[in-house]
Amino acid sequence: MEENFKLTDQVELKESLTTKWQAPSNIALVKYWGKHGVQLPANPSISFTLDACRTITSVKASKGTHGFSISYDGVEKPEFAPKIKAYFERISSYCPWITSYHFEIDTHNTFPHSSGIASSASSMAALSACVMDFESELTGTSLDYHKMSFLSRLGSGSACRSLKGAAVLWGEHVDTDGSSNLYGIDKSDLLHPVFQDFQDTILLVDKGEKVVSSTVGHDLMNDHAYASARFEQAQSNLTILKKALKDGDLATFIKITESEALTLHAMMMTSHPYFILMKPNTLSIIEEIWAFRKEMQIPVCFTLDAGANVHMLYPSEHKTAVDGLINNKLTKYCQNSHYICDQIGTGAKKC
């Protein structure tokens, strides 16, 4: 199947090409945790695409010796080079024309660098969008969003869910036709109106570097005592969640989303070596959300990614009430009282 993404036609090279794309971050509801081969997921996942947390990347390609420079806001960033180099090496058999170009890449994130929000998904998605934009210009064909997602996955697994659609499903799922381990598929059609303007307020509990990277965490699932049960559970949770998204069933949405977040962290706490990424303030926020939901009967819930920050998810009609909760109860648990207001978005866009 990977073979289908190899560009075999000869292309007529142009002297230079330029483009600029922005791509968002995403937040998984059913979590991807565990992988094999080259960034192939051990279980299927689904995410909401975000809007405000984005990477904006401009690329100039000049015909000549293959190589690249990478800067952030115009300032050279040699520390980003190894990841980009590995990415170009991985994608070169699928986009052979890249070896005839030198790329000048400049990127910018709309969210602060040290916010504990991983930029790998949005940055790899934005760069892949630029690469596919060039490929479409050179081949005279329309943009191939599946290949864009495929290339992003080779840069960073969950990046393949940041290209197209408000909800994206990645990984072979028993109950989803067209699902693939190779790329994410747009499942916006699943979303009942109540989810179409969902809010995600990201409470920044800890802006520091993670003690254990996602790469190490995924690897620890290889010999994990609960791995096979977890991978099966993700399949069935996805089936249940898809139905809840379609029906606008908030109670089931909350049950699956929170359980998935806690299961992700339970996997971390029960791997060898074990580790904990949540902080005391993460738990305090979760307790406040539970108390608020019970008292106010407002369908707000949380999810977590591989870190201490809390994503608070809720329908936009409850924004005023939830703002009250944030200001009165939650900012005291956030580092420097910082949080980011985001919402469901639609994917990558050309600037």
CA distance 167 to 188: 5
Residue 270 beta carbon to ligand PMV: minimum distance, rounded to whole angstroms: 15
Contact in structure between 330 and 203 (CB atoms under 8 Å): yes
Q: Does 238 bind ligand PMV (CB under 6 A)?
A: no
Exposure pattern of 130-160 as b/e (b: 16+ CB <10 Å)? bbbbbbbebeeeebbbbbbbbbbbbbbbbbb
Residue 155 beta carbon to ligand PMV: minimum distance, rounded to whole angstroms: 9
Which pairs with CB-CB distance under 8 Å and at least 24 residues apart come from 172-176? 172/44, 173/44, 173/235, 173/238, 173/239, 174/235, 174/239, 175/235, 175/238, 175/239, 175/242, 176/44, 176/238, 176/242
Task: Give the residue among 322, 261, 253 at the shortest CA–CA distance from 292.
Answer: 322
Q: Does 123 bind ligand PMV (CB under 6 A)?
A: no
Q: Does 183 bind ligand PMV (CB under 6 A)?
A: no
Number of residues that bind ligand PMV (CB under 6 A): 15
Scanning 84-92, 155-163, 183-191, 279-287 for contacts with ligand PMV by CB under 6 A, the matching segment is 155-163
CA distance 274 to 266: 10
Q: Does 158 bind ligand PMV (CB under 6 A)?
A: yes
CA distance 351 to 308: 32
Residue 65 beta carbon to ligand PMV: minimum distance, rounded to whole angstroms: 31
Q: Which is nearer to ligand PMV, 58 or 149 (CB)?
A: 149
Q: Which is nearer to ligand PMV, 19 or 123 (CB)?
A: 123
Q: Which is nearer to ligand PMV, 42 or 326 (CB)?
A: 42
Q: Which is nearer to ligand PMV, 288 or 305 (CB)?
A: 305
Looking up tokens 């930029």 gives 119
Scanning 151-159, 244-252, 273-281, 288-296 for contacts with ligand PMV by CB under 6 A, the matching segment is 151-159
Residue 339 beta carbon to ligand PMV: minimum distance, rounded to whole angstroms: 19
Task: Give the residue among 327, 217, 304 at the shortest CA–CA distance from 28.
Answer: 304
Segment 282 to 311, residues that bind ligand PMV, using CB under 6 A: 305-306
Q: Does 45 bind ligand PMV (CB under 6 A)?
A: yes
Q: Which of 57, 107, 115, 120 binds ligand PMV (CB under 6 A)?
A: 120
Q: Does 44 bind ligand PMV (CB under 6 A)?
A: no
Q: Name the token pair of 9.
A: 């036609």
Residue window 13-32: x/- pattern of binding to ligand PMV, with contact defined by CB under 6 A: ---------------x--xx
CA distance 94 to 262: 37
Segment 206 to 225, residues that bind ligand PMV, using CB under 6 A: 214, 218
According to DSSP, residue 225 is labeled T
Q: Which is nearer to ligand PMV, 33 or 103 (CB)?
A: 33
Q: Does 149 bind ligand PMV (CB under 6 A)?
A: no
Q: Which is nearer to ligand PMV, 28 or 286 (CB)?
A: 28
Q: Name the token pair of 347.
A: 């994917």
Q: Does 244 bind ligand PMV (CB under 6 A)?
A: no
Q: Which residues pair with 200 in a beta bridge?
A: 313, 342
Q: Angle, to 10 degrees, between the axis of helix 227-247 and the axis of helix 250-269?
A: 160
Segment 50 to 89, residues that bind ligand PMV, using CB under 6 A: none
Residues at the contact surface with ligand PMV, assessed by CB under 6 A: 28, 31-33, 45, 118, 120, 156-158, 214, 218, 264, 305-306
